[in-house]
Amino acid sequence: MLVEDDGRSAGLIPDTLQALIAARIDRLEPPQKTLLQRASVMGRIFWPSAVERLAPDLEGLDELLDDLLFREFVLEEPRSTISGERAYRFKHVLIREVAYSTLAKSARAELHEAFAHWLADRRRRPLAVVVGSMLELGPESARLHAAAAAEIAALAPPPALVGAVGEFVPAFEPHRAALGKRLLTAPDAEALGPRLRGVLTGNEIVLLKASRGVALERVLRHLN
């Protein structure tokens, strides 16, 4: 299963419709708005316990969900793909996209990573992290890529696999000995894809993190 964080904005939505949905969301109380934003990180379908992981200070989650059900922002799913977990979905995909667009880009990266860890834990599956250059970092690029690589290398529990392309290749060099065979590097996504296919079993939760311009999603055709 793939969890993507590519820094892109929500899909193209007509301005008038986007404004109407945004106005409805803006009229919500902060807790309900926070719930929608955190849930939007997961896609159209989301799970309350994952919301709790992404928003640990959010209180009265059941009551908040009931309110969003009443206001027709979300619907309860009859079945969940995760055993023992209730599931909900946004009533319309555009509600999810507008809610996601209100998240700061810096927050999105952290939330996608937290969700990937939650998903790997709930499904008892290993986590693979695949990263590509963050093109928007400017003159601080080398330092910030190195800091991000250090954080990934220090994750606990550690990822089953780390794949890196572009600016992340030199950033991971100080951690190559510690990561050992769990680290795969390549110049770009096209070169990394076949290497990933050779080591992934298909049971992993794969987290993709890169700027949109890197086209890291090109590895997907090698994984599917």
Q: State the pairing for strand pair 205-209/2-5.
A: parallel
pLDDT in tens, the chain (224 residues): 555 554 444 445 567 888 899 999 999 999 999 999 999 999 899 999 999 999 999 999 999 999 999 999 999 999 988 888 999 999 998 999 999 999 987 788 788 888 988 988 888 888 899 988 887 777 888 898 999 899 899 887 888 999 999 999 999 999 999 999 999 999 998 999 999 988 988 888 888 888 777 778 788 787 76
Question: Which of these, 139, 8, 6, 24, lies nearest to 92 by C-alpha position?
Answer: 24
Q: Is residue 161 part of a domain?
A: yes
CA 214/CA 131 separation, integer angstroms:
10
- Shared domain for 211 and 134, answered yes or no, is yes
- Show the domain range for 54: 9-101
Question: Model's pTM, two decimal places?
Answer: 0.70
DSSP category for residue 156: S
Q: Are 2 and 42 in contact (CB under 8 A)?
A: no
What six digits make up the tokens of 210? 């890169």
Which domain CATH number covers 151? 3.90.190.20
- Shared domain for 160 and 81, answered yes or no, is no
CA 110/CA 116 separation, integer angstroms:
10
If one counts the domains in the chain, the total is: 2
